Amino acid sequence: MSQTERLPRNRTYLMCPPEHFTVEYAINPWMDTAVTVDVALALRQWRLLHETLTGLGHAVHVLTPEPGLPDMVYAANGAFSVDGTVYGARFRHPQRAAEAVAHQGFCRDGRWVFADPQHVNEGEGDFAYLPRAYGGLILAGHGFRTDPAAHAEAQEVLGRPVVSLRLIDPAFYHLDTALAALDDRHVTYYPEAFSPASRRILAQLFPDAVIADRADAEAFGLNLVSDGRHVVLNAEAVGMADKVRAAGYLPILVDLSELKRGGGSVKCAVAELRT
Ligand code: ARG
């Protein structure tokens, strides 16, 4: 594919400002409750990410942050939407359970068909959608958070084939820390985050994927948001920026150092609403 084909598509996103952000529990290896988070800095960095996305012409809705829900800034985990249907989240850890309710409230305005989940799943943390791969394909991660039963449930609710991928490295506990959609049919991923069988499946489905390495993944370089042309990623992920540039995309680096303390970066903070 030539570089001129890397065309952006206007997106609708949902974000939640880190007003109540703290690291007061540790549910992934990145979280250290002994380190104090700089909320003012987290907010400034979040606003820059918000401005970057709106500056690219995308619509960004803002979810009202709630006290007592410090991880609410990771809006990607609250639901997963495809073609106007929202498959709700059901969090693995009780500390985050109430976030699902806030997302559900946002979606109950008539624009969406909301589906209540029976199985544990963490929204776009573990689900990715590629509308032009194989006629519309969902990739789904399991191993740490999302229950594999939720993959089958998502397939029924959303009416798209779901490919289950097993994550094996606790540092990359959500699919969106190990794999990202670069556009409607191309992905980038870090193979070693997946089981050998899942690696074979990814290689079969996406022979032209941009392959990331451990340094890219540790810099949260795979936790990116792309509109098909502009790839917004964590400032630390310079190696990953070079790789996406070489593949014909335009990397835009944003510093999200504070959000990394909670174990997330760009993609975690941005849910895509697909109408
Ligand atoms: N502290 C949050 C958790 O462990 C971080 C979530 C990151 N979000 C994401 N989409 N990967 O649940």
- Where does the pLDDT of residue 4 fall: very low under 50, low under 70, confident under 90, or very high at 90 and above? low
CB count, 10 Å around CB of 266?
30
Measured from CB, residues less than 6 Å from any atom of ligand 1 are: 27-28, 31, 71, 74, 76-77, 96, 125, 174, 176-177, 262-264, 268
Between CA 219 and CA 239 the distance in angstroms is 9
Which residue's alpha carbon is at the smallest distance from atom 1 of ligand 1?
262
Chain segment 17-61, per-residue pLDDT in tens: 999 999 999 999 999 999 999 999 999 999 999 999 999 999 999
Taking the CA of residue 28 as reference, the ligand 1 atom at the shortest distance is 4
Taking the CA of residue 122 as reference, the ligand 1 atom at the shortest distance is 10
> DSSP labels for 227-262?
SSSEEEEETT-HHHHHHHHHTT-EEEEE--HHHHTT
Q: How far is the CA of 268 from the centre of ligand 1 (A)?
A: 6
Structural contact between residues 174 and 126, judged by C-beta atoms closer than 8 angstroms: yes
Q: How far is the CA of 109 from the centre of ligand 1 (A)?
A: 26
In sequence order, the 6+-apart residues with CB closer than 8 A to the CB of 171 are 29, 30, 177, 217, 218
CB count, 10 Å around CB of 238?
16
Question: Which residue among 91, 126, 174, 218 has the greatest number of ligand 1 atoms within 8 angstroms of its CB, and so is best to mutate?
Answer: 174
- Residue 3: the pLDDT is 53
Chain segment 73-109, per-residue pLDDT in tens: 999 999 999 999 999 999 999 999 999 999 999 987 7
Positive or negative: CA dihedral 21, 115, 130, 190: positive
Chain segment 170-189, per-residue pLDDT in tens: 999 999 999 999 999 999 99
- Residue 110: the pLDDT is 77
